[in-house]
Structure 1
Amino acid sequence: MSKMKNLALVLLMIVGFACQENKNYQDVITDGEYLIAAQLKLTDVIIHDIFSPPVASRIYAYPSIAAFEVAALADPSYTSLMGQLNGFDKVNFETEEEIYYPLAALAAYYKVGTAMIFSEDMVQEHKEKAFKAIRTAGVPKKVFERSVALGEQVADHVIAYSKKDNYHESRSFEKYTVTNEAHTWQPTPPAYMEGIEPHWNKIRPFLMESADQFQSPPPTAFSTEPDSQFFKEAEEVFHAVNNLTPEQKDIAYFWDCNPYKVNVKGHVMFAEKKITPGGHWMGIASIASKSAGQDWKGTAETLAYTGIALFDAFIACWDEKYRSALIRPETYINKYIDEDWLPTLQTPPFPEHTSGHSVASNAAAEALTKLFGEPFYIYDSTEVAYGLPVREFNSFREAAAEATISRLYGGIHFMPAIEFGAEKGKKLGFYVNEKVKTKSDNLARIED
């Protein structure tokens, strides 16, 4: 019995020692690793819950904004987004007592992230492990509790802001009605899913004045005549897919990012869960932040800035998708060129024009270029977790250009959708860089 008592005493001493207050607790969190880990967990949940690309962009943006607002409280060189984003009212938070701001930022991120998804327990478990590690490292109990409380106050303000963006109302809007008009989008094999988020242009943007502020030129006039421009654009896709090089196939698969990929084996149909385009670019943002050696505040800025650009990009893109409601290459080619033809990638369930990857990638690239400059080496390991190899780029714009042309290699977009989408994304990225201010210098930079 005495041995058991001694063991219990030793364990109590270990626990007590582990929870001793650390006078140097400010050094527990210095870089952005905790925030990046939280963002990666959010990606896992987005994939698990199978959120669409537009909805995923919303899930990434709001938690990142909450974390950044704490950074702005901690450091006066950062500029709050309150009063800059559409409808984001300014409030004051009490910060007179000692606050551990990196912990507060993490608490804000976790609370908003949890409010955005279905599988709350997955985020909650991840948060508890992170908080336990921080507390065990010696952050004083009162400071810990006060910091979490502040982070959750900021989170509550961001959550209230998010509830006014028309997302919840849009859940009850009418579904997209497929028509028999020859030029219009039709559900595609193998699942023939209904059109995703046909009313996303009714979501409040962060910075744009309206969803159609950067309206693209319309698609080429529809025609089935072999000598027409539209037919030639379809042939371009047809021949591109039929003559892909191994490198082009790799590019197509690397940038697939289709959370709706469905596999069919015999009579069995099952989904293959994948990262979204926005998730890929948030991953690139995290990689860039880590590569640049940013502290936690710089990481919060990078995630928020990228998230804002992606959110508005999907609103702008989806506005055009359901305005033109154009037929996909797969449908057209099967009907008018080759009924047995298959694209490299599975066609996602929404209209053709413009390309979501083209818009989102170029908007994110411009935002990240503003933060980190050019050239900036990127070791993009985002897709490794999903069975794909690393790809390397010398700049964000180079990565965006590859993501853009990947849609031709994938056989899921005509070239006008790709080119006009890239143009729209760049214009939006320039607009974000002009419109929002996150730091006093706000020039291309790498955090020291």
Structure 2
Amino acid sequence: MSRYTISIMFPAMHDALNAIQPRYARWNPAAPDEPRGAGASPEAAVAAVAETVLAGLAEGSVAERAALLATALARVPAGDARERGLALGRSIALAALRRREADGFAPFVQFSSATRPGRWRPTPPLFGQDVVPTSTPLLFSPMAAAALTPPPPPLGSPVYLRDVEEVRRVGGRANAERSAAEAASAAFWAQQVSHRGFVDAVVALLDARPAPDGLWGTARGLALLSIGMDDVGVIIWQAKERYSVWRPVTALQEGGFGVAPDPEWMPLVTTPAFPEYPSGHAADCAFGGALLTALFGDGVPFTYRSLGTRAILSQRFASFRAAAADCSASRIWGGVHFRHTEEVSEAIGAAIAREALRHLQPVGGRGR
């Protein structure tokens, strides 16, 4: 499922549960036609939310969605509570889809490219040109979102020169000053779509150690994760288009601004088809690491399950922060990002996590 889909589905599940029994503040207020939650089955409500959102966004086939709904309802006794839950969940899901309808029709536009020094252009070997969303963030105004992403250092500045030379040394395909473990990390994270991996990690952790507040706590955690991850995607990708910074492979092959050209230099991993600054991986992982640390505590070992089909299938990390640090550094070892980009992007992800955690707070004097 996409960031967009889960950022509608999980908050709507959270809202459905809190319509039945208010424990946390809702993400969206109740629509005028929302059924009363009293007497509704929580399990039926969240199942109905999932099926309705997936159907509304054409995720999966009709048969797949029907099978998922049937599985979810198998342990819910037939009767008035189930019917009330289904009606409530469908109503809240439809309202959530309507609220995000404008985002759904916001076009994706192709990243602009230029041949001016310092500006991004498609890179070898694929020379692809990806797209950028034009939707607005959920947690921030457009102005506040732009303020999260300061400009990169100027070409030829000491920071720029330091970081270009570092990537030349440690991120190249050949003759790199890089350990086997660092190369493996670069290959592992290059395959990952970070928001999916962190959702998978949350589900696995909650299965092993259920949230103190049961289904309500689980839904809140997934809602916060999905809302923030959607903002990371929008904010980072729009900043990439705004600054349009060239990738290390271009900076090193062309040289200039105090950098000696190296026409044969190639990165260890394939360069993504969009601008370098800021870093999606670093911001995603910093957000996920900070949010999961707030929800589960520090020093919690976990497995990040690979979504790729090659090489390492999963990685075990000592903590969420350790995973985030490895994810960020891997982009330097892979030769596709500069260190200053990773550091700024980590700060962006952490800031989005702090803002997300201000929402969906306990109500009625309940503890967190």
TM-score, structure 1 as length reference: 0.72
C-alpha distance after superposition, 1:97-146 (max 9, x if no partner): 642211211220232133335x531xx33332233335554621554444
Mapping of residues 12-411 of structure 1, within 5 Å:
42=1, 56-82=2-28, 91=32, 93-95=34-36, 98-117=39-58, 120-121=60-61, 124-137=62-75, 139-140=77-78, 143-165=81-103, 167-171=104-108, 175-197=110-132, 200=133, 202-210=134-142, 212-223=145-156, 229-241=159-171, 242-257=176-191, 275-294=192-211, 295-336=214-255, 337-383=261-307, 388-411=312-335
Cα distance in 2 for residues equivalent to 1:136 and 1:431: 38
Name the counterpart of 2:258. Answer: none
Name the counterpart of 2:362. Answer: 439
Q: After TM superposition, give the deviation of residue 351 of structure 1 in Å.
A: 0.6
Do the aligned partners of 1:214 and 1:427 also contact (CA within 8 Å) in 2? no
Going from structure 1 to structure 2, the CA distance change for 1:179 and 1:136 (only over 3 Å counts) comes to closer
C-alpha distance after superposition, 1:319-356 (max 9, x if no partner): 32112100001122223333222212211111111111
C-alpha distance after superposition, 1:157-178 (max 9, x if no partner): 010011133x41324xx53332
Q: Which runs of 5+ in 2 are unaligned?
A: 256-260
Superposition RMSD in Å: 2.6
Going from structure 1 to structure 2, the CA distance change for 1:130 and 1:215 (only over 3 Å counts) comes to closer
Cα distance in 2 for residues equivalent to 1:96 and 1:396: 36
C-alpha distance after superposition, 1:203-231 (max 9, x if no partner): 222111225354333222124xxx96534
Do the aligned partners of 1:234 and 1:329 also contact (CA within 8 Å) in 2? yes
| One-letter amino acid of the structure 2 residue matched with residue 186 of structure 1 | R
Do the aligned partners of 1:345 and 1:410 also contact (CA within 8 Å) in 2? yes
Q: After TM superposition, give the deviation of residue 240 of structure 1 in Å.
A: 0.8
C-alpha distance after superposition, 1:44-98 (max 9, x if no partner): xxxxxxxxxxxx3222211111111112123321221125xxxxx7556323664
C-alpha distance after superposition, 1:291-345 (max 9, x if no partner): 3223333222221110111111222212321121000011222233332222122
Q: Which runs of 5+ in 1 are unaligned?
A: 1-41, 43-55, 84-88, 258-274
SS of the residue corresponding to residue 120 of structure 1 reads coil
Going from structure 1 to structure 2, the CA distance change for 1:367 and 1:222 (only over 3 Å counts) comes to same
SS of the residue corresponding to residue 164 of structure 1 reads helix
Cα distance in 1 for residues equivalent to 2:202 and 2:226: 9
SS of the residue corresponding to residue 102 of structure 2 reads coil
Do the aligned partners of 2:201 and 2:304 also contact (CA within 8 Å) in 1? yes
Q: After TM superposition, give the deviation of residue 361 of structure 1 in Å.
A: 1.5
Cα distance in 2 for residues equivalent to 1:158 and 1:146: 18
Do the aligned partners of 2:170 and 2:333 also contact (CA within 8 Å) in 1? yes
Going from structure 1 to structure 2, the CA distance change for 1:207 and 1:409 (only over 3 Å counts) comes to same
Going from structure 1 to structure 2, the CA distance change for 1:99 and 1:353 (only over 3 Å counts) comes to same
**Higher Rg of the two aligned structures:** 1
C-alpha distance after superposition, 1:9-60 (max 9, x if no partner): xxxxxxxxxxxxxxxxxxxxxxxxxxxxxxxxx3xxxxxxxxxxxxx32222
Going from structure 1 to structure 2, the CA distance change for 1:69 and 1:91 (only over 3 Å counts) comes to farther
SS of the residue corresponding to residue 190 of structure 2 reads coil
Do the aligned partners of 1:354 and 1:420 also contact (CA within 8 Å) in 2? yes
Going from structure 1 to structure 2, the CA distance change for 1:186 and 1:213 (only over 3 Å counts) comes to closer
Going from structure 1 to structure 2, the CA distance change for 1:238 and 1:364 (only over 3 Å counts) comes to same
| One-letter amino acid of the structure 2 residue matched with residue 326 of structure 1 | V
Q: After TM superposition, give the deviation of residue 246 of structure 1 in Å.
A: 1.4
Do the aligned partners of 2:111 and 2:274 also contact (CA within 8 Å) in 1? no
Number of aligned residue pairs: 355
C-alpha distance after superposition, 1:183-213 (max 9, x if no partner): 100111232122421xx3x422211122535
